[in-house]
Structure 1
Amino acid sequence: MNCRQFNRISLEEVLLSLGHLPTKQNEKEAWYLNPFASESQASFKFNKSLNIWYLHSEGIGGNNIDFMKKYLNASIKDVLEWGEKQNFSSFHQQNIIQKQNSLQPNYKITEIKELQNEHLKNYLEQRGLSPNVYPFVKEIHFKTGDKNLYAVGFQNQSGGWELRNSFYKGAILKKDISIINLNENNSSKIDNGNGKIKTGNVAVFEGFIDALSFVEMQKSYKGNLLVMNSIALLNKTKEHLKDYSEISLFLDNDPAGLKCKNEILQSFPNAKDYSEIYENHKDFNEYLTDIKNDVSKAGSLIVQKVPNVYKKRGR
């Protein structure tokens, strides 16, 4: 994705993905509460035909790049990397801008089954993951256009799927968070939205590969894992975090992850950040694969659960 492509995405869709809805709108424009700060009267104006914004309360405006640079407090490079991770319909050249619950899919799921494909198992192995994580995923076969594809699938609370294989990263059906419960019997259960599964403590991750990496290393952890599946779901994540007395954050070490982490820390005094454990790595999975690729580190770099604290040992 380049700047021109990102700026052609509807800002309305970008705002929706970040959880911001207009307070009023017509065919030409929409008004929002300030996305960068709290306010009681909408001062953020979006011009639909020009796809530009203007914030009257601060006297600034611009295009999508300008907006996300300020929103993430990040560089253009970081903004484009963030945009690559999203599933914006207008970036994929669809004719109709994605509206909430109205996206017409250009794919079809043909089969959902237990993980069997050796290529997918090898993919997980390359990410440092063993058969211990197989109960948390499925093997998804789907068709997009005239292509038949298959991938490791991780379900969210709305029945949508995050998909990964060696050459594909995407999502199908509705985007949502996922919650994994690791119960007293050390078995697994994912809340699909039909019923609330809550415990006193929760560990938060951006992506499911990071969450599964935590499962791989934390054999004795009891509690919930919340997978955001996109930092665009931060507001929804914060709603769910209200149910927990202990919140442990394992977010990515990039500008988007830092902004997300800081928002959660400001909103929840009981939240604790554990990114120091993998401070020299992009994310938790990179930390795990580094350990597994260097056997000499395996005895000294290990995440250990002790009362209310995650810590590194032997550094």
Structure 2
Amino acid sequence: MNYTDLKHEASRIKRDFSIIDYFQGLVSVGALKYEGMQGKEHFFGFLSQRTGSIAVDHRTNVWYDHAAGRGGDVLEAVQVFENKTFAQSVEQLSDFPTERTVIPTNKPKAAPKIKIESVKRVSHPALVNYIRTRGLEPNEISDFAKEVHWGNKGRKYFAVGFPNESGGWVLRSSIFKVNILGGGISIQILGTPNRIKIFEGWFDFLSYLKLSGATDFKAIILNSTANLKLSLILDVLVECEVVDLYLDDDATGEKYTNFFMKAAQLYHYCRRNSISTDWDLKMLKGSRNKFEKLISTLKISSRDVEGIWRFQTEVTDQRYRYKGFEDLNDFLKGSII
């Protein structure tokens, strides 16, 4: 699907595909539970949550996770909850009908229970082989990776698992690329951190460790670029000015790298000029050009805007290190062939 077709299909999906149907599909596979209606919104939640935090409005066909502070349309939901790219999300939903169905409002549908049966050191031959196809050895990642066995609807599964900050698991194997019991970012702190490094996925982080042997940094593993929201960027910049970005060397990586670097420029410009950095992010919801709206809201003069985008920060784009490769893990695999 070329870029023009992708955009047209994305517009059609956003308009016609029922976001309620999508979230109910997540319920049917045990990824979420349905909580019923509150006011005019349907509420869903992760199985580990006592009260569901994800509000879905069938009238506007959008969702918002109050706990994570993020939301959007159905394509953004696929990116967040299934860790897919924008293009993959469009292709996936293109394969499904767009007729809308109605969720019963009186009897919430019970979600199948996902049960973690064991978490142990990786030893299964299939998983050992999978790790090796990623250019790594099990002993090299044993401090971070676990062999996770779980059950759902009477079936048993296993995969290499990595923890995330919502208490869930990021699961990877030659078959699985899913999150269970909650999605979101993962954080690892090595030594005494003097900088923050942001990786798109766990295998990029692990590849960096093998290639560099570096310590003394805080790693934020996105698990999906959809998790790289402005709220997270601000939290990172408040904590540390020195940030290294290791996103994929593709169009999506380019988009999110530029977004982060522009946010850093505006943030540090504001700090240098005693302009508030307590930005109203809710006001930006739905804005096509968030920085343009922020600059207007902060009453920054148009003659100063050019200076903002020349502002020097300590946020660096590290993709030059693996130029010509899809990502850092791809570079590692290429370097040991």
TM range (shorter): 0.5 to 0.7
CA distance, structure 1, for counterparts of residue 334 and residue 114 of structure 2: 35
Give deviations 1:149-169, integer Å, cap 9, x for gaps.
100000012211100011111
- Indicate whether 1:140 and 2:148 are aligned: yes
- SS of 2:316's partner is strand
Aligned to 1:312: none
What is the deviation of 1:146?
Answer: 3.2
Aligned to 2:326: 282
CA distance, structure 2, for counterparts of residue 207 and residue 161 of structure 1: 13
CA distance, structure 2, for counterparts of residue 281 and residue 94 of structure 1: 43
Q: Which runs of 4+ in 1 moved over 6 A?
A: 11-14, 93-97
Q: Which runs of 5+ in 1 are unaligned?
A: 15-24, 29-45, 53-62, 69-76, 98-102, 185-198, 294-315
Give identity over the alignment, percent.
Answer: 27
CA distance, structure 2, for counterparts of residue 78 and residue 154 of structure 1: 20
Amino acid at match of 1:142: W
What is the deviation of 1:175?
Answer: 1.2
Please give the residue correspondences for 1:33-52 in structure 2 after superposition, counting only pairs within 5 Å. Answer: 48-49=58-59, 51=61
- Indicate whether 1:273 and 2:305 are aligned: no
Aligned to 1:208: 202
Give deviations 1:245-298, integer Å, cap 9, x for gaps.
3100000122222221111101223210011111211111111111111xxxxx
CA distance, structure 2, for counterparts of residue 201 and residue 244 of structure 1: 7
Q: Quick check: 2:196–2:243 contact (8 Å CA) kept in 1?
A: yes
Query: CA 1:85–1:51 in 2, change beyond 3 Å: closer, same or farther?
Result: closer
- SS of 1:111's partner is strand
Query: CA 1:84–1:283 in 2, change beyond 3 Å: closer, same or farther?
Result: farther
- Indicate whether 1:112 and 2:114 are aligned: no
Q: Which runs of 5+ in 2 are unaligned?
A: 1-5, 24-37, 42-55, 63-72, 78-83, 105-109, 265-312
CA distance, structure 2, for counterparts of residue 244 and residue 13 of structure 1: 38
Tell me the TM-score normalised to structure 2 length. Answer: 0.56
Residue among 74, 80, 87 paired with 2:87: 80
Aligned to 1:246: 242
Amino acid at match of 1:274: Q
- Indicate whether 1:217 and 2:211 are aligned: yes
CA distance, structure 2, for counterparts of residue 94 and residue 238 of structure 1: 37
- SS of 2:143's partner is helix
Query: CA 1:105–1:225 in 2, change beyond 3 Å: closer, same or farther?
Result: farther
Give deviations 1:16-72, integer Å, cap 9, x for gaps.
xxxxxxxxx9739xxxxxxxxxxxxxxxxx9834748xxxxxxxxxx867x99xxxx
Amino acid at match of 1:241: V
Between stretches 138-147 and 162-171, larger displacement belongs to: 138-147
CA RMSD of aligned residues (A): 4.0
Number of matched residues?
Answer: 224
Aligned to 2:179: 171
Residue among 219, 222, 238 paired with 1:228: 222
Choose between structure 1 and 2: higher helix proportion. 2
Aligned to 2:285: none
What is the deviation of 1:13?
Answer: 8.4
Query: CA 1:201–1:175 in 2, change beyond 3 Å: closer, same or farther?
Result: same
Please give the residue correspondences for 1:250-269 in structure 2 after superposition, counting only pairs within 5 Å. Answer: 250-268=246-264, 269=313
CA distance, structure 1, for counterparts of residue 13 and residue 163 of structure 2: 29
Residue among 172, 182, 190 paired with 2:190: 182
Q: Quick check: 2:18–2:101 contact (8 Å CA) kept in 1?
A: no
Amino acid at match of 2:255: K
What is the deviation of 1:107?
Answer: 2.3
CA distance, structure 2, for counterparts of residue 123 and residue 247 of structure 1: 31
Q: Quick check: 1:115–1:137 contact (8 Å CA) kept in 2?
A: yes
Q: Quick check: 1:278–1:284 contact (8 Å CA) kept in 2?
A: yes
- SS of 2:161's partner is strand
Choose between structure 1 and 2: higher strand proportion. 1
CA distance, structure 2, for counterparts of residue 179 and residue 85 of structure 1: 29
